[in-house]
Structure 1
C-alpha cells in the first residue's frame, strides 16, 4: 500500500485538481491514504480540501517542506511513501508503476519530468531526466521510497528549509537505491514564468554548486530568500 504525502503552502489554486487527478489516475486499492500537510497557508487551501468531501487527511505543520513531509510520514500507514509536490501530476497508473519497481527490489526512485512549458531549455531539461545522472534529479519528479529505507535514513533533514529533496536523494544515490521510472510526471513551470527561465536556472545552478562546495543549510536559505523567494 502507498501513502501519498503532499506538503502545501498556499496551494488553493492547484490542490483540488491534483487530488482528483490522483484518484482518477490510480487504483484506490493500492492507496493507503492521501495526507496533505499544510505549512501555514493563508489562502484557504485547507477549506478547499475539506469542501471536496474526499477522505483526505489534513494536518498542520511548522513551515518547511522537510518538517511537513516528515510529519506526513509519521502519520502514514503504507509501507511505501510517495512524496509529491502540489503542482506535479503523476502519470496514469502511477501506483502500479511504483509497486512494480518495489517488487523488483528498487526501494526508491522517481518519474521522468515534463514541464507545462514549450520553452526549449525546459524541454531539454525534461528530456535529460530520463537518465540516472544525479544532477538531473529534483523534488518536482516526486519521490517514492519504502518505509523501511526512509526510516533507515532518518527521513528528510529538517535543517534544510530548501534543498531538502536533494539531501535525501544524495543519501539514496550513496546507497545505490534509486531508479527512474520511464513515465512522465507533469509539473508546473510557474516559478520559471515568474522569474524568467535563464535567471531562475542560474540561481538553481548556483545553489547546487554552493552545496557542492560545502555551503551550509543556512547559507543556501539566505541565497534562496535573496534571489528567488
Structure 2
C-alpha cells in the first residue's frame, strides 16, 4: 500500500530497466468524455503491437460516460474509492503492471514515439522525468509559458508535462501525497529528484488550453501563480482548494 511518508534524502541505486520494459500509462479522469476517446485512440496507435504497455484510466466518479468510452477504446478502467488526482494516480499505480509508470493528464498528448524515449531514459539510469510542455493554442503568452518548461527548475514542473517514474522508486518515496489537492505534482517531483536522477526530455507534451480560454489567459496564469505562492508559504490545502474552486471556471478539483 502506498503511503505519504517521505524517504530519506539520499540517492539510491535502482535495478536496470531495459528498453523493452513494461510501461503502465495511468490517466486520472473526472467527466472527460469530451476528450478521453481521442487520447486513448492516439495512445493505442503509439502502442500498437507493443504488448508491454497497459493503459489504466483511474476514474474519480464520472457521470458523463467517461468510463464507458475508455473501455470502448480498450483501457483498463478503475472506479477509484477517492476522488482527487493524487489518490486516483496512486490507485492506478497500485492496479497496473509496468515497471515504468507514466502519469498522463486526460487532455495532454505525448509526442510520437514517446514510449521509446521513456524506456531509453530509464535504461540510462534516470529514476524519473518528464517532457517539456506545449499548448494547442497559439497565444503568445502560452507559448512563453511553455518555453519556460525547458528550464531545469522545480517551479516549472507541472503535471501537464506528464511524469515517468520507475515503479520501485515511486513506491519507495510513498507515491503521491493524497492529502494534497493542489501542487501534488511538484511536491512528488521534489522528492523524486532527491532520490535519483531526473530527466527533462527534449520534446513536448501538447496539452489543451481550454481552461485558459475559459478563464482568460492572463487571469488564469495569475490565479495559478498566486496559488503556487500561497502553497509555498504554507497555506493549508483546504483554503487553497476553496480559492481554486472560487476562482477557476471549469475546474475539476
| TM-score over 0.5 for the pair | yes
Q: What does residue 7 of structure 2 align with?
A: none
Q: Using a 3 Å threshold, how does the CA distance of structure 1 residues 20 and 31 change in structure 2: closer, same or farther?
A: farther
Give, in whole Å, the separation in 2 of the partners of 1:31 and 1:155. 22
Q: In the alignment, is residue 181 of structure 1 matched against residue 240 of structure 2? A: no
TM-score scaled by structure 1? 0.94
Q: Using a 3 Å threshold, how does the CA distance of structure 1 residues 214 and 30 change in structure 2: closer, same or farther?
A: farther
Report if aligned partners of 1:113, 1:186 keep a CA contact under 8 Å in 2.
yes
| Cα offset, 1:215, TM superposition | 1.7
Q: Describe the superposition over 1:31-64 as per-residue Cα deviations: whole angstroms up to 9, x where unpaired.
A: 4311001101111111222333x2x210111210
TM-score scaled by structure 2? 0.86
Query: Counterparts in 2 of 1:138-153, with a 5 A limit?
Result: 138-153=158-173
Gaps of 5+ in 1: none
Report if aligned partners of 2:154, 2:186 keep a CA contact under 8 Å in 1.
no
Gaps of 5+ in 2: 1-21
**How many aligned residue pairs are there?**
227
| Cα offset, 1:166, TM superposition | 1.6
Q: In the alignment, is residue 13 of structure 1 matched against residue 39 of structure 2? A: no
Instruction: Name whichever of 131-140 and 186-195 sits farther off.
Output: 131-140
Give, in whole Å, the separation in 1 of the partners of 2:173 and 2:35. 31
SS in 1 for 2:41: helix
SS in 2 for 1:214: coil
Q: Would you identify which runs of 4 or more consecutive aligned residues in structure 1 move more than 4 Å? A: none
Alignment partner for residue 57 of structure 1, among 65, 72, 76? 76
SS in 2 for 1:29: coil
Q: What does residue 112 of structure 1 align with?
A: 132
| Cα offset, 1:216, TM superposition | 2.2
SS in 2 for 1:85: coil
Q: What does residue 4 of structure 2 align with?
A: none
Instruction: Name whichever of 79-88 and 176-185 sits farther off.
Output: 176-185
Q: What does residue 57 of structure 2 align with?
A: 36
Report if aligned partners of 1:69, 1:83 keep a CA contact under 8 Å in 2.
yes
